[in-house]
Amino acid sequence: MTARSWRRWLKRAPLFVVLSLLATACAKDAPQDALDPAGPIARQADNLFRPVFWIAVVIFVLVEGLVILVAVKFRQRREDQPEPAQIHGNNRLEFAWTLAPALLLLGIAIPTVITIQDLAAPPADDALMVEVTGKQWWWQYEYLDEKIVTANELVIPVDREVFLNLESADVIHSFWVPRLAGKQDVVPGRTNTMRLIAEEPNQTYLGQCAEFCAISHANMRLRVRTLTAADFERWVAEQKAPAAESADGSLEARGRELFMANACIQCHSTDVGVASLGPNLAHLADRGTFAGSIFELDEENLLKWVQDAPSQKPMSPPTIDPSAPTTLINPGNKGMPSFLNILSEDEVRAIVAYLLSLK
């Protein structure tokens, strides 16, 4: 590089500094910030990450600094400059730069292995056991001792270990709630585990699927809602109660009839504790979001969803035979079918009223 082109690059340096400062500013108030742990399990990983990061920064600055220094100091200054002295080998130096990194890596490896062992510990005696199943494109939670099945929003008590058995119904997903724990792959045919502990009640921690799992991977989000131990007991009691009954002749009752008479019931159970092909809806209205936690759960969004879900979220769903509205064509396909030309607007309205009554 000539002196002039060096100067040209140096003039641009402030721009690069400003751009990198701007980029770091983006992280303010980030709800999925893995560097802002909200519980002891996440903090354990963070405590490992931070010292390793700063060691890496020191080494980066040292190595890159020396590279730049040498490149500038020993550059060719004149066309006719003679070849510099050629040096081969320096035992003392080579020994030093082999031993130093080896010791450093050993120093990093020991706490890393201890942390990995710690995080992989078996469940505590009083742990809340939940089986998480990744499905294209939503999450099912089965509370094993409580016999509750919910979807997308994992409700947990604070200050108690939550032990997750992670399973997949189809392809590889990855369960990730950055502020509560690390990331864990969810693999068909095997059970991975994860522990998380939250500390602050009445919080919502956001998460998402972190392994590409086809068309709606980006729409496979999740939430973790934290409650005090007493509130959690109340929540469990509510979830274990049967789904709400609707009064005879009400819009909700008509919606329930339509729900049972159409394909809805083929995929969605409204019985407590029953896992179904689609999310269990026994207490749907307790959740704040639906469809892989991408929509707020309200009447307007549910109307659009029940009428024509594939227009709301990319899916490859089964279709419904218009002459037999309980029959799914290609039932192995993933996602919610469209009910356009199957249900009228009034019928959709009744079904949504029924769904919103499922508190």
Contacts with ligand CUA, residue ranges (CB under 6 A): 134, 137, 173, 209, 211-213, 217, 220
Determine how many CB atoms are found less than 10 A away from the CB of residue 207.
24
* DSSP structure class, residue 191: -
Question: In the chain, at which residue ranges do the beta strands (DSSP E only) sit?
Answer: 128-135, 138-143, 148-151, 153-157, 162-168, 173-176, 183-186, 192-196, 204-209, 221-227, 289-290, 295-296, 319-320, 328-329
Q: Least distance from C-beta 191 to ligand CUA, angstroms?
A: 17
Between 137 and 205, whose beta carbon lies closer to ligand CUA? 137
Q: Least distance from C-beta 209 to ligand CUA, angstroms?
A: 3
Residue 81 burial (10 A CB sphere; 0-12, 13-18, 19+)? exposed
Q: Least distance from C-beta 45 to ligand CUA, angstroms?
A: 21
Residue 47, C-beta contacts closer than 8 angstroms, at least 6 positions apart = 115
Between 216 and 338, whose beta carbon lies closer to ligand CUA? 216
d(CA 241, CA 53): 49
Between 166 and 227, whose beta carbon lies closer to ligand CUA? 166
Q: Given 3-state DSSP classes, what are the helix, strand and coil percentages for the chain, each rounded to the nearest 5? A: 40, 20, 40
Between 295 and 354, whose beta carbon lies closer to ligand CUA? 295
Residue 173 burial (10 A CB sphere; 0-12, 13-18, 19+)? buried
Between 48 and 213, whose beta carbon lies closer to ligand CUA? 213
Q: Least distance from C-beta 300 to ligand CUA, angstroms?
A: 26
Between 133 and 246, whose beta carbon lies closer to ligand CUA? 133
Please provide the size of the chain in residues.
359
Q: Least distance from C-beta 350 to ligand CUA, angstroms?
A: 32
Q: Least distance from C-beta 292 to ligand CUA, angstroms?
A: 9
Phi, psi values for residue 250, rounded to 5°: -80, 165
d(CA 279, CA 126): 27
